[in-house]
Amino acid sequence: MPNLQQRSILNRLFEAPAIGKMAPGTALFVYGLLLVWSLVVLFPLYWVLITSVKSAVDVNSGPVYLPWIDFQPSLHAWRELLVIDYEDTLRSYINSIIIALLSTLLCIIVGSMAAYALARISYKPKFGNILIFVLAMIAGCYTVWKYGVDWKISIAVAVAIWFFLVKSIGRYFTRSVGNGDILFWMISQRILPPIVTVVPIYMMFQNLRMLDTHLALILTYTVVNLPIVIWLMYDFMNSIPIELEESAQLDGASRFRTFWEIVLPLAKPGLAATTLLILILAWNEYILAVFLSTSKAQTIPILVSAMNAGERGILWWSMCVVIVIMIIPVVFMAILLQRFISKGVLLGAVKG
């Protein structure tokens, strides 16, 4: 057995003293790298923060790093956006809050209901019925396109024909698709780049005179984020023991009550993590907002890019103020909900 004294310095630095502990050299290395990455993460944020209190001269004359030492911080951009010109900022901010919150809420409700249903109820839509539906819709679209029929009438007729056919000849079809196929179909919607669907959505809302309204953005965001909710919540619902629900159903609770009073409370950690993720996505979404909102429903990411449009060039200081006030609420939420995220809630769905 080698004597401790004879070991070289290097060995002592890099050999773990005990299981589950780090050698001093390794510790130095690990903490060093972690600090470097913290700097990489925090420095851009620091730069945005100090740019928001710089004057135009300080921004344009070259880099200055430390407030009160390098330059005199001033709140002129903050005052301009929050006091003098507060209407525009406030409106965008409130729009963003309304749209992000409502679309997240809708998305979570619809998504977790669908996820629960797919995890617990077995669906067997007949293959033939789906085919008829697709054909009816194609026929409906064709009549609108070719003969200029009003689209509401044509859709209504198509749905009525489909319903009639399903009721009459539906039972002769035998092949059906299962829950797994429905789940895959829903999740695969996430592959769609928004740019593919946004032009028709734009025209649809234009047709309904709903462009630049909150509802248009709420619905669109909901659908864009729905696949994520279904995916994450499906796995979570599957991991909830089924016995509780069965005993509730034996006691005569309806499925809605079981869902509301037993499943949802048990799924809370998953709901929290999913909510945070969807909220972040809805809060930060830009490209759909560009298409669907112009002034009334303008969200705050649009306000950020609006600081670029003036003839004075980019108003870096104002832009940084907007970015800072955009980040603050999300960071608070994340700190509140971080224990749910770190618990590996998102992991469940990813395990495959």
Partner 1 sequence: MTNPPRSRSARFSEWLDQQSSTLFITPAVLLILIFSIFPLVASLIIAFSRFRLRAGSYQVRWVGFRNFEKQFFGSEQFHFLGTFKGMSLFGWVVAIAVGIALIYWLYRYCRRQFWWLGFIGRIISALMFFGLALLFCATLLSGHQFGTLGVTLFYVFAGCSTQFAIGLGLALLCAQPIHGRTFFRVIFFIPLMITPIGIGYAFRMLADTSKGPFSPLWQWFGLGDFSWSTDPWAARVFIVIGDSWQWIPFVFIILLAAIENIPKDHQEAAQVDGASGWQIFREITWPQLLPVAATVMLIRLIEAFKLVDLPNIMTAGGPGIATESMSLHSYFAWRSLDLGQSAAIAYLLLFVTVVLCVSFFNYVVIGRLRNNPT
Q: For residues 60-119, which are near partner 1 according to CB under 8 A?
A: 60-63, 65, 110-111, 113-114, 116-118
Residues in binding contact with partner 1, number by CB under 8 A: 97
Separation of alpha carbons 132 and 126, rounded Å: 10
Of the candidate residues 52, 104, 222, 298, the single one contacting partner 1 (CB under 8 A): 222
Binding-site member from 86, 123, 164, 260 for partner 1 (CB under 8 A): 123
Exposure b/e, 169-185, CB count within 10 A at least 16 = b = eeeebeeebebeebbee
Q: What is the DSSP letter of 126?
A: B
Instruction: Tell me how far apart the alpha carbons of residues 52 and 56 are, in angstroms, rounded to a whole number.
Output: 10
Using rule CB under 8 A, residue 334 touches partner 1:
yes
Tokens (6 digits) for 315: 């108003």
Among 94, 156, 169, 203, binds partner 1 (CB under 8 A): 203
Give the pair of three-digit tokens for residue 117.
């249903």
**Beta carbon of residue 79, minimum distance to partner 1 (angstroms, whole number):** 21
Judged by CB, which is closer to partner 1: 128, or 322?
A: 322
- Indicate the SS3 state at residue 176: strand
Count of beta carbons in the 10 Å neighbourhood of residue 260: 12
**Smallest distance, partner 1 to C-beta of residue 235, A:** 11
Q: Which stretch binds partner 1 (CB under 8 A): 74-82, 197-205, 235-243, 264-272?
A: 197-205
Torsion-angle region of residue 212: left (phi > 0), alpha (psi -120 to 50) or beta? left
Contact pattern for partner 1 over residues 247 through 286, marking x by CB under 8 A: -------xxx--x--------------------x--xx-x
Smallest separation (angstroms) from partner 1 to the CB of 244: 18
184 contributes a contact to partner 1 by CB under 8 A: no
CA 299 to mean position of chain CA atoms? 15
